[in-house]
Amino acid sequence: MFAKSVIEEVLEAALSTGGDFSEIFVEDRRSNRLLLQGGKVEISNSGRDFGIGIRVYHGLNSVYTYTNDASKEGMLKAARNAAAAVQGDERASVAPLADRSIPSIHPIRWNPLDVAKSRKVDVMRRAYEIAYGYHEKIQQVMISSFDEEQNVLVANSEGTFAEDKRIRSRLAIQSIAVDGEKYETGFYGPGAHQGFEFLEGLDLYHYASEASRIAVTMLGAEPCPSGNFPVVIDNEFGGVIFHEACGHGLEATAVAKNNSVFANRIGEQVAPEIVTYIDDGTIANEWGSLTMDDEGEPTRRNVLIENGILKGYLIDKLNARRMGMSPTGSGRRQSYRFAPTSRMTNTFIAPGRSTPEEIISNTENGIYAKYMGGGQVNPATGDYNFAVMEAYRIENGKVTTPLKGATLIGNGPKTLQKVDMVGNNLGHGAGMCGSLSGSIPVNVGQPMLRVSEITVGGTKGAE
């Protein structure tokens, strides 16, 4: 994007008042969004976002600024503005910039920016017809598609000079079922670090039918009882509980400041032996994957909990300084407008040995959470509450009545301790995660698993 000589001069300017580390992040992002409603295209947006972020460290202090001025003078001005907030005794120098070649493992066949919108709309219309035709009670279907190409350059005073191209595609299907004055919503939103081939290769019948099936099923659901129950949480989006209530507690953003229940506990048993928890940014073409993070570090497979033992954290450069540990390729940001911090990529509980049939049949009286909805969590404590989009009773080892209004309430680390069965059917679900450095693409994942007891809030009341 820029000559190395210009980048070196900007990095030098950022260190001019005594900083000991400087970094430049250049982003050029192009994106497309389409919305199909009632079988017609209602929204078609294309955009481009370009900017440059500059960061300076002095010890554990960090200063960040950004600009849209890509001229040499504009970048030098931004670098000097950042430097003005730093007053150090010694001035560090910029190491010679060397290309950091990180092979991409995310093959792209068709860049979606080069594909006519009419082809994308054709896929969306097929999904619409499947979802709308699923049942007579489906009254409204909305199909949205999103794709982007994000080109980034990361260079720093330690000599890093790395570039990456990231291409993502996603299709979201929302169905609304109506029966008199009652209505229910179903949703499915698969995504990938992939081009237009992802949309063309999707099993539209599965995803579109599933969104409508959820909506129709929930129309006939009974109010959920409240109380303490064994809860079976299905794969894919079931992983959102542990992503929110445990994953964020394993990010250095919280750990470095002792704002996490997992701080200073490496080597301790924090979960049963059947639980292994992993964050892996290297899985080919997965939604949360990256070739490198937003600090120029190669992403990697980070085993956070292994057979119940806490093994490590997700660490960015600044918090690596605070913790006296090495970065783990986990520095991420929404865009150049945000300074990076430690974030998840594809985070999941590794598969176990139990089959889904064994887990259900070994549960006498419980709740089956097939698809999770939204929720809230306190990252400092791990306390959470999550709505269940689709739930059922389990009675005498069989899934029976659909339930609505179910909410799971608990504490992430304590819930983790109560996992007593882990399935063999690992699945990943695409989503967006918000934190200090903005909203980023992540995967949540797990196999079906059982928690021996969770507090369930329901509209029926206690049994």
pLDDT tens for each residue of 32-50: 999 999 989 999 999 999 9
Measured at the alpha carbon of residue 130, what is the angle toward residues 126 and 135, in degrees to the nearest 5? 155
- pLDDT class of 375 with cuts at 50, 70, 90: confident
- Region of 409 on the Ramachandran plot (φ > 0 left; ψ -120 to 50 alpha; else beta): beta
Domains of the chain from N-terminus onward? 4-219 (3.30.2290.10), 222-462 (no CATH)
* Average pLDDT rounded to a whole number, residues 284-289: 97
What pTM, to 2 d.p., does this model score? 0.95
Q: How far is CA 151 from CA 25, 72, 181, in A?
A: 11, 19, 48
pLDDT of the residue at 288: 97
pLDDT tens for each residue of 88-147 = 888 889 999 988 888 888 999 999 999 999 999 999 999 999 999 999 999 999 999 999
pLDDT of the residue at 258: 93
Question: Is there a contact between 290 and 152 (Cβ–Cβ < 8 Å)?
Answer: no
pLDDT of the residue at 316: 98
Rounded Cα distance between 260 and 386, Å, is 20
Residue 463: pLDDT over 90: no
pLDDT tens for each residue of 173-227 = 999 999 999 999 999 999 999 999 999 999 999 999 999 999 999 999 999 999 9
* Average pLDDT rounded to a whole number, residues 276-280: 98
pLDDT of the residue at 195: 97
Output the furthest CA–CA distance in the chain (Å, rounded).
Answer: 74
* Average pLDDT rounded to a whole number, residues 272-299: 97
Question: Is there a contact between 430 and 191 (Cβ–Cβ < 8 Å)?
Answer: yes
Q: Which residue would you say has higher pLDDT here, 29 or 373?
A: 29
* Stated length of the chain: 463
pLDDT tens for each residue of 405-428 = 999 999 999 999 999 999 999 999
Residue 458: pLDDT over 90: no
* Average pLDDT rounded to a whole number, residues 230-254: 92
